[in-house]
Amino acid sequence: MAEPQPGRRGGQFRVLDKDLGRITHAEAAQLHAMRPVWRLGLMVLAFVALILLAVGLSGAGAAYVWLGAGLVVAAWLGLAIGSNDVANSLGPAVGAGAIGLVPGLILVALAEIAGAVLAGGAVAQRLAGGIVDPAVLEASGTGALVMLAALTGAACWITLATGIGLPVSTSHSIVGGIAGAGTAAYGFAGVDWGAIGRIALTWVAAPVLAGLLAGALVMLLRHKVLEAPDRARAARLWLPGMVALMCGLFTIYLMRLLGLGLDRGGLGLALAVLAGGIGWITTFGRITAEIARDGKSAAKTLLRPALLVSVLIMGFAHGANDVGNVAGPLSVILGGARTGGYGLVPGAVLLAAGMTIALGTMLFGARLVSMVGSGITRLNAGRAFCVTLATAIVVIGASGTGVPVSTTHVAVGGVFGVGFAREWQDRRRREAARPGLPEEEQSRRRLIRRSHVATILAAWAVTLPVTALLGGAASWLTLLLSGA
């Protein structure tokens, strides 16, 4: 085999760039698929502006008008969240042929509702009362107006960014909007900047953790299954165990949410073992059937059952974390004092917000998955599985601690981790077999790749200050027009 020339890229150097290119194409397709939601957002913002103007001129029935405006903006954000991130959950499985598009959308929508109701409370409460002091919201009597301003500021930025072709995070936008609106209304002392700092630190740590986990998973999968002399035998040995472990750990997590821990007479442990056993048996049977049907042991065929499990976990994680972006501010607008206190989010609000996100998935998700899913997964189902699973684990962990994170950004971190892990494996294999490229050429290529990190981080960093400014401006205008 000819040595790769310094001026050309060998196959071992293209992995990360190709995966990052898919993310870029996915974002472009995502923006195109979001056009109907973008047009709806423009109409929502125009409607809210008319409401603000009407209340400012008449002053009659202001409380009910604020409530109506808040519901409209929150509903649009829920639809945008559901349509925007569905490809992260469903794209790999559809691309690998593990599930059809319509059944997959239904499955993800149900998983999102379950995640919102069972595990969405922590993030929602953090956004409702962990950024602006709940006592300040209650004492001022303007908490509903401030949260309406925060939602409006976030909606303005998401609509504007989508219109100009810039993918942004809903989670980052909501946090920035609340911080800016709270500062404009109550001053810097009214906002818990320590909480903002901890959330921002998690935004950096979560993609890194996902990258480490995804990299470890892809090395394990590649070493034990994909590069095994007998792929079919290795798949039947390792993949059912991986799926069983996923199902068992996820069941333990659910049992803790429901108050049925491992100390409750062994019920939680028994259910975890049962779920793991079902996952093992189902995966083993499906892998055997796939091999018998296709007569081969391609990675895409072997990983279909595992990808299907990851769809459920990823949908649950998305609902658990992103429902807070809607439910947190909305609970304050609906009147936290009458539902148990500011900062406490009723289950009915979580359910309504989760159903809105699920509706966005059903109405607008099909177009995005069709455009993005197959392209991301078609070339390598193994990498898609590792990224999806790592993303779900990290997002669920963040949801359990009440930290809003961006599902897409965590997934990008997983892509980096997989790319770097494969690059490291290829470099070790190449150095063991023959001399590699000159050191200066290897350094140049690494710098080109690492420059993607700086570009992506810069794009993410813009969202928080911009939405804070927009939220602050909306808060000032809202309070001015209401006479508060």
Question: CA-CA distance, 124 to 404, in Å (whole number)?
Answer: 9
Assess whether 180 and 291 both reside in one domain: no
Judged on CB neighbours under 10 Å (0-12, 13-18, 19+), 8 is: exposed
| 286 occurs within a structural domain | yes
The reply to whether 123 and 263 lie within a common domain is no
Same domain, 152 and 216: yes
Structural domain count, the chain: 2
Q: Which of 373, 405, 365, 390 is nearest to 306 (CA)?
A: 390
Contact (Cβ atoms closer than 8 angstroms) between residue 25 and residue 375: yes
User: Of 274, 296, 318, which residue constitutes the final position of a domain?
Assistant: 296
Look up residue 326 and give its amino acid: V
pLDDT at 438: 55
Same domain, 104 and 208: yes
Whole-number pLDDT of residue 181: 92
pLDDT-based confidence at 375, cuts 50/70/90? very low
Is there a contact between 289 and 295 (Cβ–Cβ < 8 Å)? no
> For residue 5, is it within any domain?
no
Strand partners, 132: 191
How far apart, in Å, are the Cα atoms of 428 and each of 212, 308, 364, 422, 432?
Answer: 18, 33, 44, 10, 6
Is 248 in the same domain as 219?
no
Residue type for position 248? G
257-286 pLDDT, tens digit per residue, is 776 655 555 676 788 888 889 889 988 888
Q: In this predicted model, what pLDDT tens digit does every residue of 159-211 receive, in sequence order?
A: 777 666 565 788 888 999 999 999 998 998 889 898 898 888 888 899 899 98
The pTM of the full predicted model, rounded to 2 decimals, is: 0.77
Task: Say if residue 382 is in the same domain as residue 475.
Answer: yes
Longest Cα–Cα distance of the chain, Å, equals 81
- In terms of residue numbers, what domain contains 407? 12-230+297-482
Tokens encoding 121: 């409370």
Structural domain includes residue 1: no
User: What average pLDDT does the chain have?
Assistant: 75
3-state SS of 282-293? HHHHHHHHHHHH
44 and 155 in contact (C-beta within 8 Å)? yes
- Residues 224 and 190 both lie in one domain: yes
**Among candidate residues 2, 112, 51, the one with its CA nearest the CA of residue 474:** 51
Please compute the mean of the pLDDT values over residues 401-405 and round it to a whole number: 85
Residue that finishes a domain, picked among 258, 273, 296: 296
Stated as kind and residue range, the H or E segment containing 404 is: none
| Unique residue bearing structure tokens 């060998």 | 10
Q: Examine the domain organization and report whether 216 and 75 are in the same domain.
A: yes
Q: Please, is 474 exposed, middle or buried when counting C-beta atoms within 10 Å of its C-beta (0-12, 13-18, 19+)?
A: buried
Residues 275 and 178 in one domain: no
Residue pLDDT, tens place only, 27-45: 555 555 556 666 666 777 7
SS3 344: coil
Which residue in the block uniquely carries the two structure tokens 């993607």? Answer: 452
Q: Is 4 a domain residue?
A: no
Quick check: is 72 in a domain?
Answer: yes
Is residue 399 located within the same domain as residue 257?
A: no
pLDDT value of residue 333: 83
Please determine, for residue 9, whether its predicted confidence score (pLDDT) is greater than 80. no
Is 134 found in the same domain as 261?
no
Final residue belonging to a domain, choices 296, 316, 338: 296
Asked if residue 7 is part of any domain, the answer here is no
Q: How confident is the model at residue 12 (pLDDT cuts 50, 70, 90)?
A: very low
Residue 6 is assigned to a structural domain of this protein: no
DSSP assignments along 167-225, one per residue: ---HHHHHHHHHHHHHHHHH-GGGB-HHHHHHHHHHHHHHHHHHHHHHHHHHHHHIIII
Let me know if residue 213 belongs to a domain.
yes
174: Cα within 13 Å, side-chain hemisphere: 32
48 in Cβ contact with 77 (< 8 Å): no
Q: Cα angle vertex 202, ends 310, 412, to 5°?
A: 45
115: left (phi over 0), alpha (psi -120 to 50) or beta: alpha
What are the residues whose beta carbons fall under 8 Å from the beta carbon of 216, sequence distance 6 or more?
421
Q: SS3 for 132? A: strand
Q: Are 475 and 389 in a shared domain?
A: yes
List Cα–Cα distances, 207 to 161, 190, 299, 382, 395, in angstroms: 22, 30, 26, 19, 10
The pLDDT tens digits of the residues spanning 305-363 come to: 778 888 888 888 888 888 889 998 888 888 743 444 555 677 888 999 999 988 888 88
